[in-house]
Amino acid sequence: MNYADLFRVTLPETALEIAALVVLIVDLGFLRKAALNLRVTVAALLGVAGCGAALWTVGLQNGSGFFVDGREVLVVGPVAVIAQVGILVLTALTLLLLIDENFTHHVGEFVAVVLMAAAGGLLIVAAQDLLVIFIGLELLSLGLYILTAFAKRSGKSAEAAMKYYLFGGMSAAFLLFGFSYLYGLSGSTNLAAIEQGIPQQGMPLLYVAWVLIVAGLGFKVAAVPFHLWAPDTYEGAPAPAAAFIASVSKVASFALLLNICYGLFQPGKTWSGPPQLLNEIFRTEFAIWQPLLIILIVVAAASMIVGNLAALAQVSVRRLLAYSAIAHAGYILLGVAVRRPYTGQVDTIHFVLDSFRPAFRSTNAVLFYVLTYGLTTIGAFGVVSVVERATGSDRIDSFVGLNKRNPVLAAVLLVLFLSLAGIPPLVGFYAKFNLFAAVLGVSAGPVPFALVALAVAFSVVSLYYYLQVLKRAYVMPTVDESPIKAHPVTMAVLVAIAAAVVVLGCFPALLQNWIESFYS
Amino acid sequence: MLAWTIYLSFAGALVLAILPKAKPALVRWLALSVAVAGLAVAIAGFISGMGQGLTVFVDLPWMPSMGIHFLLAADGISRVLVLLTGLAAVAGVLFSWNIELRANEFFAFFLALIGGVYGVFLSFDLLLLFVFYEIAIVPKYFLIAIWGSTRREYAAMKLAIYSFAGSAMVLIGLLAAYATAGSHSTSLIELGHAGFPASFQMWCFPLVFTGFAILAGMWPFHTWAPTGHVAAPTGASMLLAGVVMKLGAYGCLRVGIALFPRGLDPWGVSFLGIGSWRDVFAVLAVIGIVYGALVALAQSDFKFVIGYSSVSHMGFVLLGLMTLNQIGMTGAVMQMFSHGIIAGLLFAIVGRIVYDRTHTRQLAELETMHLSRRLPFAAWAFVIAGMASMGLPGFSGFVAELQVLVGAWKVNPWWVAAAGVGIVVGVAYTWRALQKAFFGDLLPSAHVLEQEHGHELAAITWPEVTGVVMLAGVSLFVGLYPRILLDTIEPAVKALLAGGVQ
């Protein structure tokens, strides 16, 4: 144990916590009598500065993590660093979109909670120890519950927060229960130690543990059947909170899922559990699977189907975004679950995964997807919130005539929604293509192929509901032609996000090379 | 050089999108000049490319980690279709001259669509081709949904979903080919040499072919075409029938047939004379020819007649592709060009010249309007266009359909017999539409004449005359001197056939 390492590795979290305190002091101490506009601006800018400082400290890491008793607890690896940068950038964007909001008078507290939740996110993407993971996850989740409830004048906000909290508490219990089984089986809370400590002959308890963990994490990423909180929360939460949940929390949770999956399934290792017959079927029929991963695959397929079909029926754009988020979680989970078979040993087919090191394509693809998805969805919530403030509702019909009322906003909406639908040359298309290509890998069997076909087929379905919103923005005649005004900062951020979506779509190598640079 | 067609169109679209709203005249002229510039580049590229094979003009690494290149190239087939796109773009702008509603957006979407179409014809990287193919979907939706007529929102959504479903099938095939080839490239040239296993080609070919053929209006996936064409504003229906359906046919040829030639091999079993995917698609094409013609015969809406005639004529393209011999496939490419010109002309006459003056497309109502007297220009333009559409000698359609039929005869005479029925019905529906719309039997009474005298139809404008003369002239010129295109198409088809198809 080396406290200097701990200090260095947790510098980004520290920076965020300090920023949170500074925001509170400034807002409650100096600006108590100031106008709300000024307070929001100052708090948001301080928060952004905190994110910037944390970003800078992420750059200071020299590559070695924090060890306790020879076991790595906090890692400074590719996934962790990429996800941390993503979390910080997305948090800063969320805070910038806050400047125009007026749902609360307690802006200092709001920004502080956002920063602390982001710190929780930073922690879980680096953690290699079940306890640290759980603590980080709770820090993140508790922050999200508070943020959801922040619009005190809105009954929906309170209802959403209550639902979110109850579901969240339950899923945290599942997760902890699963973790406790892992500890019981292996005698350690460290992922690497668990991986070594679990007997080669797997046991039913392990499957139970895995199901419980998937339930807990499936809740975080809003995967079917653990998705029930998402539509209500997205609908009821104040827009910046919803954007934060949809983007930052997604990035952190998927990075955590990657860490756990790869931490527990090291290359070259077979878990042949007692259901020998089942194992045999997987081995012969599907050729590449770790049987446990089938849970993830079922969840992924269910998310794609349910998310896309349910989104068709929505009349609230926020709920539509929630179901679309569920569908996107399904695509991403596909990338987490199905991977290129390990080609190191040809004699025995292992249900194994790529090694971490060279050209780790599906991890790359998942990270690329989740980062760009987070960016797009923040922008989408930004547009929704502007429209909502002008029309008083997020109903799909309040977007009618947006093109006349604010052409720039309509253009941003067009770009972001088409990107979510996966239309080239926007980044959503490349993210999907990259992910599916990684899933198919080099010698994919029929099942991964069928899953990709399912995903592509359902992205056709998704075009319909995205077009329903765009149709209202561009096609349908409007009665009310009064212009919709938005704060210049909000507009600038939204335009920047849309521009990034276009540029990254045309030149995906920009982001791709950056991600790959961590593996060299 | 041809790459500039793409850049010019997209730059034009971008400029128009940010132009101030209140100046439709400026917008029109700008759009026209961009379209004309594109056509000029296309013509120059066509002339300079004569006698040359495949030429690559841009090859930049685009997504290096996946081995994907921004690879633009052209062979004879591409050059001919780029030329068609240039002509269709200019004609489309000319016949959209009266668009006043949100003119800058209209032309921005229009040019974006054109840019996507140019891109598809010039891409030699499968992913790039796919990207351009999808770029063309979104403008189509908005062009129809905003500026369209009859049930426009329904038609636009139907068209978008059909197109997207087709492209999803293509995407699945693309991913599968990319994963199977393992060559770490999506270049059409490299994938062509990848040597896909026959069993893979056997399922990937029908998937990709059907995906593209949806946009080519293959029966029974054609139903988006008539509704889409009818609902679209004139300029857009000219593009839809003129070039967008060609995108599908081009994809069938360039991707489906060229990459997966073994998919056309016999299955080894035959049922009712159908023993391979080739037979399946040829039969569907023939059904499309006959079905489209018969349905066109029964329409009461003038524009639906033309819409279904497109389905029928595109059947010839698909039939030509399925002959897999030199003359048939050359005929298919000729038919793409010819139908692009003629369908554009027909839609222009029906949608712009007639409908915008009479405000009806019902043949029964047009019959009472004595249009041959009141709009002689329209009547004679339609006579010429109708003759071209029937495939009379002297027009481009004759050369194209003849070649397709000769090619098909070599493979299976029954296909020709059935397609012949389609041609005869084609004469019938064109004749019927011509007579009902323009040369009604009833002679006007003195009273009616007087009444009509008070409501003169608006005079024919110069963009309409220019457009009609240009399209009819091209069809006639190609019909009289087909070598001008054949010399370019034939070597390209030969190279394609030598590359493993046959």
Residue pair A94/A247 in contact by the 8 Å Cβ criterion: yes
CB contacts under 8 A, A 414-433 vs B, are: 418, 423-425, 429-430, 433
DSSP annotation of B252 reads I
Residue A428, pLDDT score: 92
Nearest CA in chain B to A425: B131
- Residue B171 contacts A where some CB pair is shorter than 8 Å: yes
Residue B201, pLDDT score: 87
Residue A442, pLDDT score: 47
Cβ–Cβ contacts within 10 Å for residue A479, how many?
6
Across all residues in chain A, what is the average pLDDT?
84
Query: Is a pLDDT exceeding 60 seen at residue A280?
Result: no
HEC letters along A56-106: HHHHHCCCCCEEECCEEEECCCHHHHHHHHHHHHHHHHHHHHHCCCCCCCC
Query: Prior bond to B393 cis, omega within 30?
Result: no
Query: Is a pLDDT exceeding 70 seen at residue A290?
Result: no
Nearest CA in chain B to A451: B172
- Residue B68 contacts A where some CB pair is shorter than 8 Å: no
CB contacts under 8 A, B 133-162 vs A, are: 134-135, 137-138, 141-142, 145-146, 153, 156-157, 160-161
pLDDT digits (tens, 9 = 90+) for B272-303: 777 788 888 999 999 999 999 999 998 888 88
Provide the token pair at A504.
């990254």
Inter-chain touch B141–A429, beta carbons under 8 Å: no
* B144 vs A contacts (CB less than 8 Å): none
The confidence band for B371, taking pLDDT boundaries of 50, 70 and 90, is confident
Cβ–Cβ contacts within 10 Å for residue A277, how many?
8
- Residue A434 contacts B where some CB pair is shorter than 8 Å: yes
Query: Is a pLDDT exceeding 90 seen at residue B266?
Result: no
pLDDT mean over A490-518: 90
Of B145, B164, B175, the CB nearest to A471: B145
Inter-chain touch B176–A424, beta carbons under 8 Å: no
Q: Could you write out the DSSP letters of every residue in A276-343?
A: HHHHHHIIIIISS--TTHHHHHHHHHHHHHHHHHHHHT--BHHHHHHHHHHHHHHHHHHHHH--PPP-
> What sign for the dihedral angle of Cα A300, A303, A306, A311?
negative
Query: Is a pLDDT exceeding 90 seen at residue A304?
Result: yes
Query: Is a pLDDT exceeding 50 seen at residue A75?
Result: yes
The confidence band for A444, taking pLDDT boundaries of 50, 70 and 90, is low
Where is pLDDT greater, at B150 or B36? B36
The confidence band for B444, taking pLDDT boundaries of 50, 70 and 90, is low
Of A423, A441, A507, the CB nearest to B134: A423
Inter-chain touch A442–B179, beta carbons under 8 Å: yes
pLDDT mean over B26-48: 90
Where is pLDDT greater, at A428 or A359? A428
Which pTM does this prediction carry? 0.90
Residue pair A249/A220 in contact by the 8 Å Cβ criterion: yes
**What are the structural domain ranges in chain A?**
3-516
- Which ipTM did the prediction report? 0.88
Residue A155, pLDDT score: 87
- Residue B172 contacts A where some CB pair is shorter than 8 Å: yes
The confidence band for B191, taking pLDDT boundaries of 50, 70 and 90, is confident
pLDDT mean over B382-408: 90
Where is pLDDT greater, at A330 or A280? A330
Query: Prior bond to A274 cis, omega within 30?
Result: no
Query: Is a pLDDT exceeding 80 seen at residue A138?
Result: yes
* B69 vs A contacts (CB less than 8 Å): none
Across all residues in chain B, what is the average pLDDT?
87
Tell me which of A50-54, B199-203, B333-337 is least confident. Answer: B199-203
Query: Is a pLDDT exceeding 90 seen at residue A172?
Result: yes
pLDDT digits (tens, 9 = 90+) for A240-272: 999 999 999 999 999 998 888 777 765 444 444
Query: Is a pLDDT exceeding 90 seen at residue B373?
Result: no
Query: Is a pLDDT exceeding 70 seen at residue A126?
Result: yes
Residue A359, pLDDT score: 38
Nearest CA in chain A to B102: A404
Residue A279, pLDDT score: 54
Q: Number of CB pairs < 8 Å for A and B?
A: 77
DSSP annotation of A476 reads S
Residue B264, pLDDT score: 84
Of A433, A464, A475, the CB nearest to B153: A475
Residue A94, pLDDT score: 93
Percentage of the residues of chain A whose pLDDT score is greater than 70 = 88
Q: How far is B368 from chain A (nearest CA, A)?
A: 34
Residue A273, pLDDT score: 46
Q: How far is A267 from chain B (nearest CA, A)?
A: 22
B75: left (phi over 0), alpha (psi -120 to 50) or beta: beta
pLDDT mean over A19-46: 90
Distance of alpha carbon B156 from its chain centroid, rounded?
17
Highest mean predicted confidence (pLDDT) among A79-93, B53-67, B137-151, B389-403: A79-93
* B65 vs A contacts (CB less than 8 Å): 509, 512-513, 516
Q: How far is A260 from chain B (nearest CA, A)?
A: 26
Q: Helix, strand, coil % (nearest 5) of chain B?
A: 75, 5, 20
Highest mean predicted confidence (pLDDT) among A327-341, B87-101, B488-502: B87-101
Provide the token pair at A277.
């017959």
Residue pair A392/A399 in contact by the 8 Å Cβ criterion: no
Of A430, A471, A516, the CB nearest to B153: A471
Tell me which of A126-135, B60-69, B220-229 is least confident. Answer: B60-69
Query: Is a pLDDT exceeding 70 seen at residue A427?
Result: yes
Phi, psi of B268 (to 5 degrees): 100, -20
pLDDT mean over B90-98: 90
Task: For residue A53, give the 3-state DSSP assignment.
Answer: helix
Inter-chain touch A437–B178, beta carbons under 8 Å: yes
Residue A171, pLDDT score: 93
Residue A285, pLDDT score: 43
- Residue B168 contacts A where some CB pair is shorter than 8 Å: yes
The confidence band for A445, taking pLDDT boundaries of 50, 70 and 90, is low
| Candidates A432, A463, A464, A507, partner chain B, best to mutate (most B CBs within 10 A) | A463
β-strand partners of A190:
A129
β-strand partners of B55:
B74
Nearest CA in chain B to A461: B161
CB contacts under 8 A, A 441-480 vs B, are: 441-444, 449, 452-453, 456-457, 459-460, 463-464, 467, 471, 474-475
Instruction: Tell me the C-alpha distance between B433 and B366, whole Å.
Output: 10
Tell me which of A114-118, A291-295, B298-302, B365-369 is least confident. Answer: A291-295
Residue A105, pLDDT score: 84
Query: Is a pLDDT exceeding 90 seen at residue A374?
Result: yes
The confidence band for A345, taking pLDDT boundaries of 50, 70 and 90, is very low
Inter-chain touch A509–B178, beta carbons under 8 Å: no
Query: Is a pLDDT exceeding 70 seen at residue A489?
Result: yes
